Amino acid sequence: MAASIEMLGNDDIRFGNEKYMAKLAKQGIIILTMIVMLTR
């Protein structure tokens, strides 16, 4: 992933980072939801 990002242009790097952050946010929401459900 990191190696392929280095070959791309700046716009592609920014887009890749946004997609990566969106993926992390989605995983974070899933984890938070699981924690809330487990602690109820």
> How many residues are recorded in the chain?
40
Q: What string of DSSP letters covers 5-26?
A: HHHS-HHHHHHHHHHHHHHHHH
Cα-flanking dihedrals φ and ψ of residue 17, to 5°?
-65, -40
**In the predicted structure, residue 35 carries a pLDDT above the cut 80:** yes
Compare 8 and 28 and report the one with higher pLDDT: 28
What per-residue confidence (pLDDT) applies to 11? 64
Q: Are 16 and 5 in contact (CB under 8 A)?
A: yes
What value does the mean pLDDT take over residues 6-14?
60
**Which residue segment(s) compose the domain that 27 sits in?**
2-39
- Predicted TM-score (pTM) of the model is 0.49
- Per the model's pLDDT, the better-predicted residue between 24 and 3 turns out to be 24
CA distance 34 to 5: 32
* Number of compact structural domains in the chain: 1
Tokens 């459900």 — which residue? 37
